[in-house]
């Protein structure tokens, strides 16, 4: 009697991955929206509370690639279930009353788990769709994190004000547990190929062609963050926008990033190298317009929307390009764009702050536009890079419930 083959359902798999990314993104951003509440309750300074944000970013940027390297031989299904479990348990600590040192440690763990989740989710998402839809599958995961900033941050902040910041983390734990259950039921097995060892992957994942595109990612997000880190004071001092109107600008930016990341998947599938060139030009023009016409709230509003659309619209192409150039090192390389983005965010915030110290608030936007212009040059230069045909990434294989391998198609 033959066993009946249970097909992989790509839409269900992508829904679980999107939801997991969204919940993890919300947990990352919660502290940002409740910084004053956390500082007061834990009896620490606001800068000390801000270190909780830094800890999460550091865990993601460093811990994510490290854990991805250490788990290259592990089935991606087990990796996703493990990272989601760690995420739920680590966020349970602040929900139950953890003090500052424990909370700080938990944030490091959550960041590392998030970085590993991103890499495993990207590999899994692209394995359950045809190769020509890989960019759109990547965009689903990336959009989950973008939506967390656009929707999850303000909703989480309101929830924290209503039930306390610990209550917000309790809600994250509850939703995370539901995601874990869904992941157990839906995610397919995705073992690593026999020749997919850690050192072998690292050779390709850190090849000069991959590092060049990672440098582009750093430049893009350094340019964006140089301006947007200081958007609120810029709106107040230069554009004359303050009070509740500021929230409209921030919400518009968040929605633009979500729309851009989702729509960018199609451009990644069509021509990711060209999409990066167009995207960097769009960001540069947007930031230059903000710097030149900052006194006009309307122009600034359009520029903020453009920055969000073009900036996050490039994210799927960035991921697609890096994974493609890495060839057999794709599983490990999948964790690197998130690290590059976090490096860019940190560098951009620092550069914008240094510019403000020297020439005032508007200088941060000018600095961002200059960095973005450098990114245009980098995007054009890296558009000619190609992965050698001999190291093209193998087609992913999904193992069905009856134990037989199947190509990832709908």
User: What is the model's pLDDT at position 112?
Assistant: 92
pLDDT at 410 over 50: no
Domain housing 244:
197-393
The answer to whether residues 351 and 399 belong to one domain is no
Q: Are residues 177 and 249 in the same domain?
A: no
Q: What is the mean pLDDT of residues 360-386?
A: 93
Tell whether the model's pLDDT for residue 285 goes beyond 60. Answer: yes
Of 37-46, 162-171, 324-333, 398-407, minimum mean pLDDT range:
398-407
Q: Please state the separation of Cα 223 from the chain's center in Å.
A: 16
Top-confidence residue, 157 or 147? 147
Residue range 181-220, pLDDT digits in tens: 999 999 998 887 665 567 778 888 889 999 999 999 999 9
> Does residue 239 share a domain with residue 183?
no
Looking up tokens 């190291």, which residue turns up? 391
Question: Could you tell me if 185 and 229 lie in one domain?
Answer: no
Is the domain of 368 the same as that of 401?
A: no
Q: For the segment 9-44, what is each residue's pLDDT rounded down to a tens digit?
A: 889 999 999 999 999 988 888 887 777 788 888 988
397, β-bridge pairs: 407
Which CATH number does the domain housing residue 43 bear? 1.20.1250.20
Of the chain, the percentage scoring pLDDT greater than 90 comes to 40
Instruction: Please check whether residues 169 and 234 belong to one and the same domain.
Output: no
176 lies in the same domain as 39:
yes
Q: How far is CA 184 from CA 12, 13, 82, 312, in A?
A: 12, 11, 11, 30
pLDDT of residue 7: 63
Residue 191 CB-density burial (10 A; 0-12 exposed, 13-18 middle, 19+ buried): middle
Q: Are 329 and 194 in contact (CB under 8 A)?
A: no
DSSP secondary-structure letter at 133?
A: G
* pLDDT-derived band at 404, boundaries 50, 70, 90: very low
pLDDT of residue 92: 94
The strand pairing partners of 398, in sequence order, are 406
Question: Predicted confidence band at 357 (pLDDT cuts at 50, 70, 90)?
Answer: confident
The band of 345, judged by pLDDT with boundaries at 50, 70 and 90, is: confident
Q: Grade residue 2 by pLDDT with cuts at 50, 70 and 90.
A: very low
List the Cα angle 96/24/282 in 5-degree steps. 145
Query: 301-312 pLDDT, tens per residue?
Result: 999 999 999 999
Q: pLDDT of 70-86, one tens digit each?
A: 888 889 899 999 999 99
Please name the residue ranges forming H helices in 198-292: 198-205, 208-228, 231-234, 244-292
Average pLDDT over residues 219-239: 88
- Do 184 and 266 belong together in one domain? no
**Same domain as 351, residue 322:** yes
CA distances from 89 to 209, 227, 270, 352 (A): 38, 36, 40, 36
For the cut 90, the answer to whether the pLDDT of residue 277 exceeds it is yes
pTM: 0.80
Instruction: Report the distance separating Cα 355 and Cα 334, nearest Å.
Output: 33
Could you identify the residue written with the tokens 């750093």? 218
Q: Is the confidence at residue 396, as pLDDT, over 60?
A: no
State residue 303's pLDDT score.
95
Mean pLDDT of the chain: 85
Q: How many domains does the chain have?
A: 2
pLDDT at site 193: 67
pLDDT tops 80 at residue 352: yes
The token pair that represents 59 in the structure block: 């865990």
Residue 64's pLDDT band (cuts 50, 70, 90): confident
Does residue 316 share a domain with residue 215?
A: yes
Average pLDDT score over residue span 101-119: 92
The confidence band for 392, taking pLDDT boundaries of 50, 70 and 90, is very low
Are residues 204 and 95 both part of a single domain?
no
| pLDDT band at 370; cut points 50, 70, 90 | very high
**In a shared domain, residues 88 and 156:** yes
């Amino acid at each position: 009697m033959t066993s009946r083959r249970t097909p992989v359902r790509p839409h269900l798999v992508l829904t679980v991955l999107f939801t997991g990314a969204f919940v993890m993104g919300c947990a990352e951003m919660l502290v940002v929206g409740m910084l004053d509440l956390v500082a007061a309750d834990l009896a620490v300074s606001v800068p000390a509370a801000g270190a909780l944000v830094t800890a999460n970013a550091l865990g993601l940027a460093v811990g994510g690639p490290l854990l991805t390297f250490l788990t290259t031989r592990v089935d991606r299904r087990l990796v996703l279930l493990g990272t989601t479990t760690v995420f739920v348990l680590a966020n349970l600590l602040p929900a139950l009353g953890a003090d500052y040192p424990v909370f700080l440690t938990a944030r490091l763990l959550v960041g590392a788990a998030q970085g590993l989740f991103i890499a495993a989710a990207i590999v899994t998402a692209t394995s359950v769709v045809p190769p020509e839809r890989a960019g759109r599958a990547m965009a689903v995961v990336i959009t989950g994190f973008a939506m967390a900033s656009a929707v999850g941050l303000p909703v989480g902040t309101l929830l924290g004000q209503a039930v306390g910041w610990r209550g917000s983390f309790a809600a994250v734990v509850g939703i995370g547990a539901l995601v874990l259950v869904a992941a157990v039921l839906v995610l397919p097995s995705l073992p690593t190929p026999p020749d997919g060892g850690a050192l072998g992957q690292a050779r390709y994942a850190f090849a000069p062609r991959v590092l060049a595109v990672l440098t582009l990612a750093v430049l893009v997000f350094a340019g964006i963050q140089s301006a947007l880190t200081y958007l609120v004071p810029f709106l107040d001092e230069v554009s004359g926008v303050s009070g509740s109107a500021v929230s409209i600008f921030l919400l518009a930016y968040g929605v633009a990033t979500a729309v851009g990341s989702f729509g960018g998947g199609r451009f990644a599938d069509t021509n990711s190298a060209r999409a990066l060139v167009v995207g960097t030009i769009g960001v540069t023009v947007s930031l230059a317009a903000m710097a030149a016409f900052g006194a006009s709230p309307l122009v600034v509003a359009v520029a903020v929307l453009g920055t969000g659309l073009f900036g996050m619209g490039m994210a799927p192409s960035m991921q697609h390009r890096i994974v493609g150039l890495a060839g057999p090192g794709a599983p490990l390389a999948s964790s690197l764009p998130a690290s590059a983005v976090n490096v860019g965010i940190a560098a951009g915030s620092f550069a914008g702050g240094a510019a403000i110290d020297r020439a005032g608030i508007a200088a941060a936007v000018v600095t961002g536009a200059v960095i973005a212009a450098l990114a245009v040059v980098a995007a054009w230069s890296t558009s000619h890079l190609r992965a050698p045909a001999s190291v093209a990434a193998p087609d992913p294989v999904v193992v069905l419930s009856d134990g037989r391998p199947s190509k990832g198609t709908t």
